[in-house]
A and B are shown apart, each in its own frame.
Chain A
Amino acid sequence: QQQVKQSPQSLIVQKGGISIINCAYENTAFDYFPWYQQFPGKGPALLIAIRPDVSEKKEGRFTISFNKSAKQFSLHIMDSQPGDSATYFCAASEDYQLIWGAGTKLIIKP
């Protein structure tokens, strides 16, 4: 009930392509869905987040798509760049406790 399942575990995308990372959850009480980005040697940093009252949120090249009925949400990175190479974590929150996905290591090939 408390898990957040993230896929794929790793992803290689050509520069300029679209990177897509997916997450699924079971607990319908979750009310906040952030994505964090982590570069090697750094801690994770908040990238973008969404609440379940909207189906999409866009910030620059990064978009969260949210499907409440399917209990899924995904991160789309448009025009992927080598600088986007990082590990991405999805998470879900209820009552301020974050439940984390396992992470996706994204590599953008030049």
Chain B
Amino acid sequence: DVKVTQSSRYLVKRTGEKVFLECVQDMDHENMFWYRQDPGLGLRLIYFSYDVKMKEKGDIPEGYSVSREKKERFSLILESASTNQTSMYLCAIAGTSGANVLTFGAGSRLTVL
């Protein structure tokens, strides 16, 4: 089974800090996604990438950027964290079962003070 690893499970940052969230997959999947999960709002797509150095904005890209320098690694960057970015961040990959069948990491819970 494919494994999606989010190395930082819990982070506490201060307003204005730069935050890096990293996601690593152990297979050769092309499509990777960053979602934000908030109670009552479901999952909202921030960015996705369909290949190395390729990225597309999702529904809520404002305040975020991404980096994909290697196929297995997809990073989410908060250039200047704000309190309204306190959330659970989920990385996912689309596997061989179909581009809309996602495997998620365990999530990174970010608190911005």
Residues of A in contact with B (beta carbons under 8 Å apart): 6, 9, 32, 34, 36, 41-46, 49, 89, 93, 96-98, 100-103
Contact = CB atoms under 8 A, between A and B. Distances in A.
A43 B107 contact: yes
A21 to B, nearest CB: 13
24 contacts: A9-B40, A32-B98, A36-B102, A41-B106, A42-B106, A43-B4, A43-B106, A44-B104, A45-B103, A45-B104, A46-B101, A46-B102, A49-B101, A96-B94, A97-B100, A98-B45, A98-B100, A98-B102, A100-B43, A100-B44, A101-B42, A102-B41, A103-B39, A103-B42
Contact of B105 (A34, A43, A49, A97): A43
Given A42-B107, A100-B42, 5 more contacts: A44-B102, A97-B100, A98-B102, A102-B40, A103-B40
Nearest to A98: B100
B41 A32 contact: no
B99 interface: yes
A43 B42 contact: no
The 8 lowest CB-CB distance pairs between A and B, nearest first, are A43-B104, A96-B99, A100-B42, A93-B100, A102-B42, A100-B43, A96-B100, A44-B104
A12 B4 CA distance: 31
Nearest to B101: A46
